[in-house]
A and B are shown apart, each in its own frame.
Chain A
């Protein structure tokens, strides 16, 4: 089969490799869509201790089951499925508490296991048992379903921040994650959602997702605008969905008393430390939270949200490339050309 093989920093070539064998407990999925995540680009450029080349990357996967291993119940050939990324071990303390995104093993598709930038992907027995793979409801498209993985991460983030009825939510960053957060917050009952972004172009694209206010930091001070929009109260929840140290520092200033600030996006290694206005946290009784990854259950919930039209992920896939042009796909994702880039092997 054809697969994009990550061979070393900056090196990925499409090659012919043997198809994976279906083994007991596993599934083989013919990949229709594998979307590019920022983390794929980071692995490609800077490497990752969990990825040993040569390896096939890609973990936002949707496709069709073509082979079912002995002992697998609930899946048949021809089933349309979405595969999530994080594979829980099922045995550690965190998995047993249902917090599988904190599994100590940190196994994932496209990391220690071959991923979706290939014609076929093996969903290992452990992943099948841990319910990392879900049926795509109804006739939902593959591109839309593939984004259930990043949406699952947003569900996790908003579960942690307890986004709910009547809240005023600020989302910083109008990339794919930020746009999903806007829709999700609205669906969860937020009374007002304010989306903040630097570039006016990205902000324009995001208007279709129904935030109540759009703020471009090129033109105005976001903290002042949030205070103006909330009558001086501030935001109950601030979700920082952009890898910016400055945004994390400003988020504290925008939060209302007793507010929650969620560092949803990680920072690049070069800028790991931020300067925290500690007294602001103290006097406003703020909570600073982190969130990453998703549990299998959250992936399933995300898929339902997409299928029921609660979150539009179709609009977020702005670029598509065949497997043979995976290099261009990564380049488009890297320069932030649109929103989500999909690869169709």
Chain B
């Protein structure tokens, strides 16, 4: 099969590899669409995966092409999404249902072969059927959508909340969508790239603030009558926004840190003091999983895709064939890139299978 193989950090090569066989409990999935995650960019270009060679890719959907021993044969041919995390099931975290925090997990696309390929093997326990009418491409957005939802459920969204999201990337924009769905009355997003803010505006975010033009904390204060937001979601991961988040939130408000950090944060004394003086709640969130595995984050996402509440496909700005993957990574890594969610379509020449979702 064709696959984008990470042979060493910085070397992504598309070539023929043996098609894997599903073992006991596993299925073989024909990948219809696989999304590139923000975390894949440094993984492919700089740090590498846990071992080489390895096929990256952990946001995907497809068709079950084969089942291994001890797997219910009715999965064959079904359209599915698969959670990429394979928890150990035995550690205290797993036993408590906190699979994201498993002490010894395996993971498609970083610790074992993932979905930037025509086929990928995943445990049947990780599968969820894609509802009729939902395209596989939307299914490929299930993982990041679940990440955003997992975070918001942990920090809590209350009816009427005024929510500010820092970062108009895929996770941030999904957070803006969920914030509305969960009852938020007003949602603002902050970024420095005009094209991303324009997309956010087209997707229906109430306020799109450019932090390069005006201090976003000031803009949020103005929009909230001086109070600050009820909830701030930091979905960038740089020190500037990590600090800003603490200055945009009202007294007794909540701050959710979702963005994987890059860089060391020095918190000015006055900013840190706000945590005490305003009795803030600070919450960190990781991944997307809960009991029963993979979690209601995933099933709720699929329901919201099916009934149209969640316009995840609106985030897709580009679709590329698998062989373009090495160039695509270079393009995404450029400063000022306006790619939002990029999908790799292994069967690009078979365009018909991705659109309608009418298959069973």
Contacts and interface: CB of A to CB of B under 8 A. Distances in A.
A113 B51 contact: yes
Contacts of B50: 52, 112
Interface in B44-70: 47-48, 50-53
A89 B9 CA distance: 8
Given A18-B18, A113-B51, A124-B52, A91 B13 contact: no
A112 B51 contact: yes
A105 B8 CA distance: 10
A40 to B, nearest CB: 16
Given A18-B18, A23-B13, A23-B15, A125 B8 contact: yes
A107 interface: yes
A24 interface: yes
A16 interface: no
A44 B15 CA distance: 33
Contact of B52 (A24, A91, A113): A113
B196 to A, nearest CB: 30
B43 interface: no
A125 B7 contact: yes
Interface string A119-146: 0000011100000000000000000000
A166 B187 CA distance: 76
B48 A24 contact: no
A52 B8 CA distance: 15
Which of B8, B52, B111 has the most C-beta atoms of chain A within 10 angstroms of its own C-beta? B8
Interface in B1-42: 7-11, 13, 15, 17-18
Contacts of B11: 125-126
A21 interface: yes
Interface residues of B, number: 16
Q: Give the interface SS of chain A, mostly helix, strand, loop or mixed.
A: loop
Contacts of B53: 23, 124
B7 A52 contact: no
A217 to B, nearest CB: 42
Interface in B113-130: none
A23 B7 contact: yes
Interface in A78-128: 87, 89, 91, 105, 107, 112-114, 124-126
Contact of B9 (A21, A23, A105, A114): A105
Interface residues of A, number: 18
B111 A52 contact: yes
A21 B8 CA distance: 15
A55 interface: yes
Nearest to B107: A52
A112 B48 contact: yes
A124 B8 contact: yes
Contacts of B51: 52, 55, 112-114
Contacts of A18: 18
A310 to B, nearest CB: 34
A184 B298 CA distance: 62
Given A52-B51, A52-B111, A112-B52, A126 B8 contact: yes
Interface string B297-311: 000000000000000
A112 B7 CA distance: 10
A157 B8 CA distance: 28
Interface in B64-123: 111
Contact of B13 (A24, A52, A112): A24
Contacts of B13: 23-24
Could you say which of B10, B13, B50 has the most chain A C-beta atoms within 10 Å of its C-beta?
Answer: B50
A124 B8 CA distance: 8
A23 B18 CA distance: 13
A23 B8 CA distance: 12
Contacts of A52: 50-51, 111
A326 to B, nearest CB: 19
Nearest to B106: A52
A43 to B, nearest CB: 13
A26 B7 CA distance: 10
Contacts of B111: 52
A125 B18 CA distance: 19
Contacts of A87: 8
Nearest to B16: A21
B10 A107 contact: no
A114 B51 CA distance: 8
A126 B50 CA distance: 16
Contacts of A55: 51
B329 to A, nearest CB: 16
B198 to A, nearest CB: 36
Contact of B48 (A21, A23, A105): A105
B110 to A, nearest CB: 9
A114 B8 CA distance: 12
A194 to B, nearest CB: 43
Contacts of B7: 23, 26, 124-126
Contacts of A89: 8-10
Given A105-B47, A124-B8, 19 more contacts: A21-B17, A23-B13, A23-B15, A52-B111, A87-B8, A89-B8, A89-B9, A91-B10, A107-B8, A107-B9, A107-B48, A112-B51, A124-B52, A124-B53, A125-B7, A125-B8, A125-B11, A126-B7, A126-B11
Closest 5 pairs between A and B when the two form their complex, measured CB to CB:
A52-B50, A126-B8, A52-B51, A112-B51, A112-B52
19 contacts: A21-B17, A23-B13, A23-B53, A24-B13, A24-B15, A52-B50, A52-B111, A55-B51, A89-B9, A105-B9, A107-B8, A107-B48, A112-B50, A112-B51, A112-B52, A113-B8, A113-B51, A113-B52, A125-B8
